[in-house]
Amino acid sequence: MIKRKFGDYLRSKTDVAMVNESLCKVTLSCSFTKCTNWNRTDILAAAIVSRKTLTDDIIRSSKVPKIMGLTYTNLDDTSRRYMLEEIAFDVAHSDLYLGKRLTDTGRTRWLSLLNDAASSHDDDWLADQQRTEGLIKAKETRNLKGGKVIEVDVPITAAETLAEGEFNRFYIRGLCRRAIDANIPSLLVYRAKDVANPRSTSQDLIGTMVDAKTLLSDLRTHQGEEPQLKMPGGPNSGLSVRLP
């Protein structure tokens, strides 16, 4: 049996060279589909070791568990309405963040998909749409020491990272607006998703209260970069906030 942590080391399609570029043609054996506690990265790791490849249909099917997104405690119709208003706020100020790994078509489709996710879905759905429509680049450049620039594969988790990060930010901003309107001064930081190696800075934030007005302002002014309050704490931190 392959240990679960093995999949944690996969970062790009280069790492899954034995799984062909289009992830197609060969189905999984029953032994893989029974591993219901594995995420997609673990399944890919198992495929490498067994010299099998995966189809996109299998990856998206219920037989292969997803890399699950965050659990949003207060994600209801009221919070969604505030989320949509915050998205509109960024659009009105020409400040909507577009992920650098989106294709040209992805940049065009992003606002519509983001609005749909905020209105009726979640970050899992948003990530799935990016993959299904092919909105994530296959390659990106990386600067090395000495000024050399190389081309590398985009991480296979790029769609999840972008979807989770942006959906969570707008959820937090919407919840800040909701709290302010309800005269609730602060929100509670909690772990909304388990991660393999949580950052110590993220762990220290869990259970703390953060001022809603300050947090809202911080997220509005730090698009595509880590906020001053470290909330949420960088890509894949797994942190969010909820009403106290």
More confident residue, 51 or 79: 79
Paired strand residues for 123: none
Confidence band, pLDDT 50/70/90 cuts, at residue 44: low
What does the pLDDT look like over 59-91, one tens digit per residue? 444 344 455 689 999 999 999 999 999 999 999
Statement to judge: residues 103 and 22 lie in one domain: no
CB atoms within 10 A of CB 207: 10
Q: Tell me, yes or no, whether 70 lies in a domain.
A: no
Q: Tell me, yes or no, whether 129 lies in a domain.
A: yes
CA 160 centroid distance within chain: 4
Confidence band, pLDDT 50/70/90 cuts, at residue 39: very low
Q: How large is the average pLDDT for residues 111-135?
A: 97
Q: How large is the average pLDDT for residues 93-107?
A: 97
Q: Tell me, yes or no, whether 113 lies in a domain.
A: yes
Position 147 scores a pLDDT of 87
Whole-number Å distance between alpha carbons of 101 and 99: 5
- The residue written with tokens 């998909």 in the block is 113
Q: Tell me, yes or no, whether 191 lies in a domain.
A: yes
Is the confidence at residue 37, as pLDDT, over 80?
no
Statement to judge: residues 18 and 51 lie in one domain: yes
Paired strand residues for 240: 190
Statement to judge: residues 107 and 222 lie in one domain: yes
What does the pLDDT look like over 126-174, one tens digit per residue? 999 999 999 999 999 999 988 899 999 999 999 999 999 999 999 999 9
Local structure of 165: helix, strand or coil:
helix
Q: Tell me, yes or no, whether 138 lies in a domain.
A: yes
Statement to judge: residues 132 and 216 lie in one domain: yes
Statement to judge: residues 8 and 103 lie in one domain: no
More confident residue, 55 or 100: 100
Helices 77-92 and 158-181 meet at what angle, rounded to 10? Answer: 100
Whole-number Å distance between alpha carbons of 54 and 68: 19
What does the pLDDT look like over 186-238, one tens digit per residue? 999 999 998 888 888 889 999 999 999 999 999 999 988 889 998 987 778 89
Model confidence, pTM: 0.73
Q: Tell me, yes or no, whether 68 lies in a domain.
A: no
Statement to judge: residues 34 and 101 lie in one domain: no
Q: Tell me, yes or no, whether 66 lies in a domain.
A: no
Q: Tell me, yes or no, whether 95 lies in a domain.
A: yes
Whole-number Å distance between alpha carbons of 215 and 233: 12
Statement to judge: residues 135 and 166 lie in one domain: yes
Position 201 scores a pLDDT of 83
Whole-number Å distance between alpha carbons of 63 and 107: 31
Half-sphere exposure of 58 (CA within 13 A, CB side): 19
Percentage, residues of the chain above pLDDT 70: 72
Is the confidence at residue 50, as pLDDT, over 80?
no
Structural domains counted in the chain: 2
Q: Classify residue 40 by burial, with Cβ atoms within 10 Å: 0-12, 13-18, 19+.
A: buried
Statement to judge: residues 32 and 116 lie in one domain: no
Whole-number Å distance between alpha carbons of 131 and 128: 5
Identify the domain containing residue 43 by its residue range: 4-60
Statement to judge: residues 54 and 84 lie in one domain: no
Which is nearest to 106 in space by CA: 170, 151, 154, 56? 154
Q: Name the token pair of 158.
A: 């790029």
Helix (H) or strand (E) holding 151: strand 149-153
Contact 48, 16 (CB under 8 A): yes
Whole-number Å distance between alpha carbons of 124 and 150: 31
Statement to judge: residues 48 and 162 lie in one domain: no
Helix (H) or strand (E) holding 166: helix 158-181
30-34, 40-44, 94-98, 173-177: range with lowest mean pLDDT: 30-34
Instruction: Give the Å distances, CA to CA, from 233 to 168, 169, 240.
Output: 11, 11, 9
Confidence band, pLDDT 50/70/90 cuts, at residue 53: very low
Statement to judge: residues 39 and 100 lie in one domain: no
Among 35, 60, 85, the domain-final residue is 60
Contact 169, 82 (CB under 8 A): no
Statement to judge: residues 55 and 81 lie in one domain: no
